[in-house]
Amino acid sequence: MRSQIVRVYKESDIPQELAQTPVGQLIRYQNFSAPFKTHDKAEMLVGMCMDNRKQLTIPENFTYIIRTGGGNLRYSEFKLSYAIAIGHIRYVALIAHDHCGMVGLMSKKTDFVAGLSELTDWDKDRAEEHFLNYVPMFEIDNEVDFVVDEAKRLGKKYIGVSFIPLYYTLEDNMLSLIKESEL
């Protein structure tokens, strides 16, 4: 792992440059049960994994949310562009989490093929071909480094929008910052 997870245990742990942004507010809502404010429109976008074990504690209208395997927005960029262009979004939190199913996806091939074959009318050959066609698009090596790289990639594409990588811990449902290690 090239990056470091920095826990946010108290409000003063939120970096000054994020404290007064929607990302700082997201952390306060999630980690400190901050009282919900009324939001007339989305103030940010959250890109996060589709994993059902993660639930954000946020008020209505606060954020657009795009949920995809591993938080990978490569195939959701039109939705991101829409939120930026039409919703005037300037902040995007990309949230990775521990125990992500997209890490080591290839190791789940047997279970994937068996499950798809048992639960649908797909035969095993079709299920395996489907798996092998999509694994290269969705498998990630490390959830933390992936979300940092995704934030960099999108930041270069959408100049003027801040992409902030965060980390969700399933055990305590808290958000942490991700600090890129200096090599």
**How would you write the pLDDT of the chain (183 residues) with one tens digit per residue?**
688 999 999 999 999 999 999 999 999 999 999 999 999 999 999 999 999 988 999 999 999 999 999 999 999 999 999 999 999 999 999 999 999 999 999 999 999 999 999 999 999 999 999 999 999 999 999 999 999 999 999 999 999 999 999 999 999 999 999 998 765
For residue 16, the Cα-to-chain-centroid distance in whole angstroms is 22
Query: Architecture of 3-101+140-180 per CATH?
Result: 3-Layer(aba) Sandwich (3.40)
Work out the number of other CB atoms within 10 angstroms of the CB of residue 70. Answer: 25
The strand order across the sheet containing 162-169 reads 3-7, 174-180, 162-169, 91-97, 44-49, 63-68
| Torsion of Cα atoms, 172 then 174 then 179 then 180, to 10° | 70
Start-end ranges of CATH 3.40.1050.10 in the chain?
3-101+140-180
pTM over 0.75: yes
